[in-house]
Amino acid sequence: MRSLLALLLVTLALAALCCCEKDPKRPSGSLSADSIKITKEVANAFVKRRKRSSPYEWYFEFYKSPLEQQHERCENYPPCDYLADQVGFALAYSRFFGRY
């Protein structure tokens, strides 16, 4: 029993030493802002802006359809938004704002 306990203590001590060992490459203390910056080339490698392929896509990026405007109007009015969750958008919108 004592040998098992001794073995367990030695294993725990070695695990603590391995986990608590400091990295010689990293200076002690907090990281500075310069150490986390990356260059533009590296950032652009994984953050690419999607190009618009047609004027149709460009137009609908800036102008919303009437139905989408109605959805936003209903979402911004809490009683309509709550009722839309219960009975649906069309009934909730007509209840609070009249017909389409």
Identify which has the larger pLDDT, 80 or 8: 80
Contact 61, 52 (CB under 8 A): yes
44-84 per-position pLDDT tens digit: 776 666 666 777 777 777 788 889 899 999 999 999 999 99
Q: What is the pLDDT of residue 95?
A: 93
Q: Which amino acid is at 22?
A: K
Report how far apart, in Å, the C-alpha atoms of 69 and of each of 39, 42, 74, 87 are: 40, 39, 9, 19
pLDDT over 70 percentage in the chain? 71
Q: Which of 14-23, 34-43, 90-99 has the lowest mean pLDDT?
A: 14-23
